[in-house]
């Protein structure tokens, strides 16, 4: 049996950001055992990790993070010293329709993980020494900014406006409470909008690429003037890796792409690249833009100040937005079978059948 220097749980490792992080950790740290814990809900897909599924330092466990006892048992079995917590319900529109699911997964799921970690780590001979609970959150907990030069910093007061952001804000508070009350070593990071390969196609960029491909409408909320800061997912995974290994327990770090875009400008840039790669006349798909009623509680602008992370740990994004967008569109167009299986729901039925009798 291989001896590993560390065993690390990544929750939500079959999802968008999680799969990029798991792949990075498995490849870059052969001396670590990386345990992917994922319930495999609609946004979790093991096809995202086909290239490393047979790696000797990779394990997959289909578990619900709300199952405190099973998480604790898993931690004991593999002597887990680190948890990187990404598992979450993350789509604002879904949270508006079903806030209970978001409270269960994002709040109670995080609390379950914290309590399991506390139970196991406090009972170990080393206590909390060498342990870390790393919680990945979102810039949406800070609320909304106006059209000025203001940025979200690590000191910005919380002001969540949607059930999704409220659930994430609550989970952040629980993580910090376990640090202050029990002395658990924790780190919280708040990131801006991620984009890149393997993103579930209910999100703007993969949805619109697929719609352009099929000449379907491109639904734009309101007038498309809402502003978001865009972060390439591989840059985010690199930042998480760096913070996990060199960040200071008890601290918060903001991770942003320094790429503020109005939604309508992003969509036009996306159309331009996608049309070109499909061999169409540039801008031909702009006719697909369809303005729809604005989302309830739609925050005007998010913008992350990531200077603390740059100053203390030397991180900055590796890609300019134009390069990241080009790579992203190419990936989706070259992986149409993946997209078709996702949009058909075929992968969900496959996993349900596979794990039905386990």
Catalytic residue IDs? 139-140, 164
Alpha carbon of 183 to those of 61, 186, 249, 253, 269: distances in Å? 28, 9, 10, 19, 47
- Pairing verdict, β 58-61 and 32-37: parallel
Q: Are 304 and 139 in contact (CB under 8 A)?
A: yes
d(CA 219, CA 226): 14
Number of residues that make up the chain? 358
DSSP run (H or E) holding 245: helix 233-246
d(CA 103, CA 88): 10
Alpha carbon of 303 to those of 224, 261, 265, 295: distances in Å? 16, 10, 16, 19
Greatest Cα-to-Cα distance within the chain, rounded to the nearest angstrom: 66
Q: Are 143 and 103 in contact (CB under 8 A)?
A: no
Q: Tokens for 82?
A: 């680190």
Q: Are 82 and 37 in contact (CB under 8 A)?
A: no
The SS3 assignment for 340 reads helix
Q: How would you label 16-38 residue by residue, b for 16+ Cβ within 10 Å and e otherwise?
A: bbbbbbbbbbbeebeebbbbbbb
């Amino acid at each position: 049996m291989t001896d590993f220097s560390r065993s690390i749980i990544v929750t939500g490792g079959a999802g968008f950001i999680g799969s990029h992080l798991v792949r990075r950790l498995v490849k870059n740290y052969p001396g670590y055992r990386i345990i992917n814990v994922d319930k495999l809900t609609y946004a979790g897909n093991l096809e995202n990790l086909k290239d490393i599924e047979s790696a000797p330092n990779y394990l997959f466990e289909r578990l619900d993070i709300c199952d405190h006892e099973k998480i604790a048992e898993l931690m004991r079995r593999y002597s887990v010293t680190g948890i990187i917590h990404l598992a979450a319900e993350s789509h604002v529109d879904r949270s508006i329709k079903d806030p209970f699911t978001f409270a269960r997964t994002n709040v109670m799921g995080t609390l379950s993980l914290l309590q399991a970690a506390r139970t196991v780590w406090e009972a170990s001979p080393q206590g909390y020494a060498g342990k870390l609970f790393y919680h990945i959150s979102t810039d949406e907990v800070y609320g909304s900014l106006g059209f000025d030069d203001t940025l979200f910093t690590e000191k910005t007061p919380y002001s969540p406006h949607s059930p999704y952001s409220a659930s994430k804000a609550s989970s952040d508070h629980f993580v910090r409470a376990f640090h202050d009350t029990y002395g658990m070593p924790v780190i919280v990071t708040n990131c801006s909008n991620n984009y890149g390969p393997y993103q579930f196609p209910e999100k703007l960029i993969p949805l619109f690429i697929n719609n352009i491909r099929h000449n379907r409408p491109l639904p734009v909320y309101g007038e498309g003037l809402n502003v978001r800061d865009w972060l390439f997912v591989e840059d985010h995974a690199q930042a998480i890796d760096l913070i996990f290994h060199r960040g200071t327990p008890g601290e918060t770090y903001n991770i942003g792409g320094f790429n503020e875009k109005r939604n309508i400008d992003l969509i036009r840039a996306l159309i331009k690249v996608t049309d070109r790669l499909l061999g169409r006349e540039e801008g031909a798909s702009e006719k697909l833009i369809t303005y729809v009623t604005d989302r309830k509680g739609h925050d005007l602008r998010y913008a992350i100040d990531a200077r603390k992370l740059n100053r203390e740990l030397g991180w900055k994004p590796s890609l300019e937005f134009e390069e990241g967008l080009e790579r992203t569109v190419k990936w989706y167009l070259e992986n149409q079978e993946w997209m078709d299986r996702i949009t058909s729901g075929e992968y969900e039925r496959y996993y349900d059948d596979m794990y039905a009798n386990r």
